[in-house]
Amino acid sequence: MKRILRTIYGFYGACAFALLLLIVTPCYFIIFIFVPKKLAYPVAHKYISRPWARGVLVLFFIRLKVKNKNFVDPKVTYVFVSNHRSLLDIPSFACSCKNTFRFLAKAELVKVPVLGFLISRLYITVNRRDRNDRAKSIEVMKNNLREHISVFIYPEGTRNKTDKPLLDFHDGAFRLAIEAQIPLAVMTVMGSGKLLSPLKFMELSPGTLHCEWSPVIETKGMTQKDIPALKEKTKQLMINILKQYENKNPLPLV
């Protein structure tokens, strides 16, 4: 019975998301057509993407609690990283900081009708199977950082559908932060897999999402040799926070 109710609620959530998508799409078109190219993305992010993300959580009846917001300076450019358990992680992150940033997303998402168009304009896309495309995406991210637009990467590379706290991390985010000498900002999301399961299609529940920022990690002076240590430090920060959360909320991760 519980799964049936979650599926019904998931259908409601899909309809609510589709409605919001229909509302914001014309707004994005207007901005990308009439606002100068250099200003278009920051304007779209601030006035459409962040309110859209907030609207998704409100319509899903999901409350967001963010700890240590003061660790992140809205005026500083970062390489952002976070764990990834469900699709709720995306709006939760957009609502958790005021910085202008771009997500790194899979190139396949561009093929999704309507949403794909927005992703191609709003996100940095990469085909992880294509070495040349990966190299190109790194340069695009560096250009964004030079223009003071932060970059957000899920180091796990995909949603974690296992019973492990985290999947193995890829090097990309840490290599980028070191090469650009940009500070690394680490956020841990808790509870998203319980509200929107990555395993069971359309199963959604109202509730509370918890996000916690860790102290920013400076990368100035680091070299490529520091990538493994930086990656491990980030992973341990997330694992420690996830363990504390699970000790207080002893329920399955998904």
List, for residues 186-196, the tens digit of each pLDDT value. Answer: 999 999 999 99
Averaged over 135-142, what is the pLDDT? Answer: 82
List, for residues 57-89, the tens digit of each pLDDT value. Answer: 999 999 999 999 999 999 999 999 999 999 999
DSSP string, 68-103: -GGGS-TTS--EEEE--SSTTHHHHHHTT--S-EEE
Averaged over 44-62, what is the pLDDT? Answer: 94
| Cα-Cα-Cα-Cα dihedral sign, residues 60, 44, 181, 69 | negative
pLDDT score of 155: 94
Q: Indicate the pLDDT class of residue 128, thresholds 50, 70 and 90.
A: low
Nearest to 85 by CA among 197, 231, 9: 197
Report the distance separating Cα 230 and Cα 199, nearest Å: 30
- Classify 46 in phi/psi space as left (phi over 0), alpha (psi -120 to 50) or beta: alpha
- Name all domains of the chain by residue range, CATH numbers in brackets: 2-248 (3.40.1130.10)
